Amino acid sequence: MLLCKLKRMMDKLEYREVIEEMKRHRVDLNLIVDHNPSTFLSNLNTFIKVVNDAELLNQFVLSLNDEDTTVSRYSSSYKRPADYSACEYFLAANKVNTVCSRMRECLLALEECSLMVLYGVLLTAYLKSEPPGIAAALRDISSRAVKQEEHSKFERKWIEYVGMVMPRADLMRAALSLYDVPLALTAAQYSQQDPMEYLPALNQLQSYQPEAYQRYQIDMYLGQEEHSKFERKWIEYVGMVMPRADLMRAALSLYDVPLALTAAQYSQQDPMEYLPALNQLQSYQPEAYQRYQIDMYLGRYDKALENLVHMDDAIEEAITLINRYHLFAKAISLFRRTKHYSRICREFAVHLRRKRIYDEATLLFRKGGDNKMAMECAEAAFLWRQVVELARELKLSAEESALRLSTIARHFESTGNQAVVADIMLVLCSLNTRSYDSKVEQDCVRITQLYCLAGDWDRAVQCSNNQSEALHWIDELGEKRYRELSEQIRIWEKQINEHSQRLVVVRREKKAMILASTSREEEGDNAQSEVSSDTSSTASGYSRMSTASRREKRVERKKMTLTKGSQYEDAGLLNALKSIISAVDKQQDELKGLLRALVVVDRIDESHQLQSHFSALIAIIRQQIPNIWPRYIEAHTITGPIHEIYRDEDGVVRLPSEGANLMPKRIHISSEMIPPNLRTNIFWKMQMWDENHC
């Protein structure tokens, strides 16, 4: 009944009675608009004049929202069609903004005396808009205050009213957006800010001249304030989420000192602690040097060095930083394309020389252009080839070069490296000096002898120059080496046969033991007990890790022995066979030159026999490898004790049951189970002794 009555009254435009009735019965005032939007907007001027009460009109404006009450709260009284929408009556489908805009137009069309009665409604219409027209409201207040006799009183009254309607609004910023500093000062008094915060800023803005520059400064202030407000808000949030985080250091890592200062305010530090440091960092110029100082403050020395690279005049600070924090590797990369690269190379070289890494120091001294220090390091590292090159670059005399090389040659002779001694002697011969050894003639005979002793038979033949005395050394030492190798080949062949035959027996016995263990339930427990007793016999005070490490070393030692009947005998046999085959493979390198050298000195039979014996040994090895290291692994070919073969990840030994698969769940591939490599790309044979090719 009430809604029917209200509808009739609204149709008759009896708006004063409608509002009073709605207030009395707490009916949503939006119904005044929603009942018939077209009629209401057309008669809005009538609505204002009929009501003519600032309080009632303010209540109406403040209650506005974009909801259509005729299809929501009061839909039963209106029964609108399902597709009904009042959006077509409102600008941008926004009821609140449309009504407020039209009300402002109607109010501004009133005479001044009538408007003053309803002035609060005008301001409310500004403030109710979305977004709130705070600046427009303040502009209207400011422009009308000039016309009033009590200018200040009028201004304060209505600014206070705006602050009451919009209690959380920043009135000072809204006033500044109008470039009106006095108005901003008045507005600020009704905000929650401390006068000590806004007075200095407003006084500073007021002092700027001319007007255009003042407006520029106001815009800059508003932009900075917005930025700072946003910054403070979210830094505070980060500090709340991460209360123990060092926000100041995190901000400094971005090279942003002002941000670090803001962040520091939300830390637990005393301002007297961080302010001096931040002020000092802020004072550094240029930017690269400031970043360097920030990185030093944060202890990020590698990044500090990155910033110093861009400053040519800071090389001394860079050198100090590099040496203090050992940033040599970083520095040589950073300074590679700068004019200080040579200096950095020398500093790095000095560091390496101090650590006795002479070969690398030699390289960097040469890169740094200090060949004298490079020569010193090359001599200390016995880098004879580098010494020869540096002597040439330093233009040393033949006698001085020979003296340096002679010292290096004596070192290699004492260590038994005859090949290097021979190489150095060749260089000494080219220098036409005999300063190396006055007791031994410096000629091709001595060099030939040294190459023979080093096993470099090809170079020995080359250096002999068919001299009888040199060939005599090749003949004597070659024949001696032939006898040694013949005996060694016989021993290798015997050992290969013995070890491979014994391995067959050991594996056969292990297979039988595995099969037997599957029928004995106690075997697993006994094996477990055996291992437990073995691994638990550790002295008190030692950790389990150190015990396991010692046990692994003990097992590795057992694998290198050939004790008959040992649990690791199969591993020992495999290791012995691998060692023999590796030695045979290595011997191919020397044999190529030795066979030819024997022919040169007419040791024809020896050369032929040596090739035949060695070829037979190679054939035996290739025949035995598939048997010793079968392509497919079976349980009995896995090395080590049976209980270790069947030990699971949890340490428990689980032997296979009778009739089950004998392979363990996991297999430890020890190094001895991997077959050695016998190279086939070494062409050591002489075709003249190979019947297949001749």
One-character DSSP codes across 177-224: TTT-HHHHHHHHTTSS--HHHHHHHHHHHHH--SHHHHHHHHHHHHHH
The H or E element containing residue 132 is none
Is 499 in contact with 577 (CB distance < 8 Å)?
Answer: yes
Per-residue confidence (pLDDT) for residue 531, from 0 to 100: 40
Return the minimum-mean-pLDDT range out of 346-355, 492-501, 511-520, 612-621: 511-520
Q: Quick one: average pLDDT of 407-420?
A: 92
Q: What is the pLDDT of residue 436?
A: 44
Rounded distance between C-alpha atoms, residue 140 and residue 161, angstroms: 13
Please state which of the ranges 196-200, 283-287, 513-517 shows the lowest mean pLDDT.
196-200
What is the C-alpha separation between 489 and 612, in angstroms, rounded? Answer: 11
Reference 166, options 195, 198, 203, 136; nearest CA is 136
Cα gap 535→547, rounded to integer Å: 7
Radius of gyration (C-alpha) of the chain in whole angstroms: 50
CA-closest candidate to residue 225, choices 203, 249, 198, 207:
198
- Lowest model confidence (mean pLDDT) among 353-367, 392-406, 419-433, 511-525: 511-525
Q: For position 581, what pLDDT does the model report?
A: 95
Give the pLDDT score at 441.
45
List, for residues 439-485, the tens digit of each pLDDT value: 344 468 888 889 999 899 999 998 887 888 888 999 999 999 999 99
Binned at pLDDT 50, 70 and 90, residue 407 comes out as very high
Q: How far is it, in rounded angstroms, from Cα 615 to Cα 611? A: 6
Cα(166)–Cα(159) distance, rounded to whole angstroms? 10
Q: Rounded to whole angstroms, how far apart are CA atoms 616 and 620?
A: 6
Least confident residue range of 40-49, 166-175, 509-518, 612-621: 166-175
Region 633-650 average pLDDT: 89
Contact 574, 639 (CB under 8 A): yes
pLDDT given for residue 248 in this prediction = 82
DSSP annotation string for 245-295: S-HHHHHHTTT-HHHHHHHHTTSSS-HHHHHHHHHHHHH--SHHHHHHHHH
Alpha carbons 18 and 9: distance in angstroms, whole number: 7
CA-CA distance, 101 to 95, in Å (whole number)?
Answer: 10
Supply the angle between the helices 134-145 and 119-128 in degrees, to the nearest 10: 150
* 647 phi, psi to nearest 5 deg: -85, 125
Assign 232 a pLDDT band (cuts: 50, 70, 90): low
Confidence bin at 224 (pLDDT 50/70/90): low
Query: What is the Cα–Cα distance from 612 to 688, expressed in whole angstroms?
Result: 12
Residue 163 is predicted with a pLDDT of: 81
In the predicted model, what is the mean pLDDT of residues 119-137? 89
pLDDT band with cut points at 50, 70 and 90 for residue 291: very high
Smallest CA-to-CA distance from 303 within 313, 293, 314 is with: 293
pLDDT at 539: 38
Residue 247 predicted with pLDDT over 50: yes
At position 262, the amino acid (one-letter code) is T
pLDDT digits (tens, 9 = 90+) for 296-311: 999 999 999 999 998 8
Is the distance from CB of 466 to CB of 540 less than 8 angstroms?
no
pLDDT of res. 88: 77
Please check whether residue 360 is in contact with residue 384, taking contact to mean a CB–CB distance below 8 angstroms. no
- Using CA atoms, how far apart are residues 383 and 349, in angstroms rounded to an integer? 16
Place of tokens 């004998």: 662
pLDDT tens track for 366-387: 999 999 999 999 999 999 999 9
pLDDT attached to residue 527: 42
Of 52, 6, 54, residue with least CA distance to 30: 6
3-state secondary structure of 311: coil
Of the two residues 277 and 175, the one the predictor is more confident about is 277
Rounded to an integer, the average pLDDT of 425-435 is 71
- Output the DSSP codes for 20-41: HHHHHHT--TTHHHHS-HHHHH
Average of per-residue pLDDT across 32-40? 89
What mean pLDDT comes out for the span 83-112?
86
How large is the average pLDDT for residues 51-64? Answer: 91
Q: Which two tokens stand for residue 256?
A: 């942003």
pLDDT reported for residue 488: 96
C-alpha to C-alpha distance for 333 and 314, rounded to whole angstroms:
17
**How many CB atoms are closer than 10 A to CB 566?**
15
CA dihedral 656, 660, 666, 667 (to 10 degrees): 90
Helix ranges (DSSP H) in 52-148:
54-63, 75-78, 95-108, 112-117, 119-128, 134-145
pLDDT for 425: 87
Which range among 107-111, 188-192, 431-435 has the greatest average pLDDT? 107-111
Structure-token pair, residue 6: 């209200």
Give dist(CA 237, CA 259) in Å, integer: 15
**Contact call for residues 413 and 454 (beta carbons, < 8 A):** no
DSSP string over 529-571:
HHHHHHHH---TT--HHHHHHHHHHHHHHHHT---TT-TTHHH
Residue 585's pLDDT is 94
Phi-psi label, residue 655: left if phi above 0, alpha if psi -120 to 50, beta otherwise? beta
Q: What is the mean pLDDT of the chain?
A: 85
Rounded to 10 degrees, the C-alpha dihedral 310/312/315/316 comes to: -130
Q: Report the pLDDT value the prediction gives residue 412, as an integer from 0 to 100.
A: 93
Domain ranges (residues) in the chain: 27-78+89-227, 476-517+552-688
C-alpha span between 371 and 315 (Å, rounded): 23
Q: What percent of the chain has pLDDT over 90?
A: 42
- pTM value > 0.75: no
What does the pLDDT look like over 254-268, one tens digit per residue? 898 888 887 787 666
- pLDDT greater than 50 at residue 535: no
Cβ neighbours for 508, distance < 8 A, ≥ 6 positions apart: 636
pLDDT of 530 strictly over 50: no
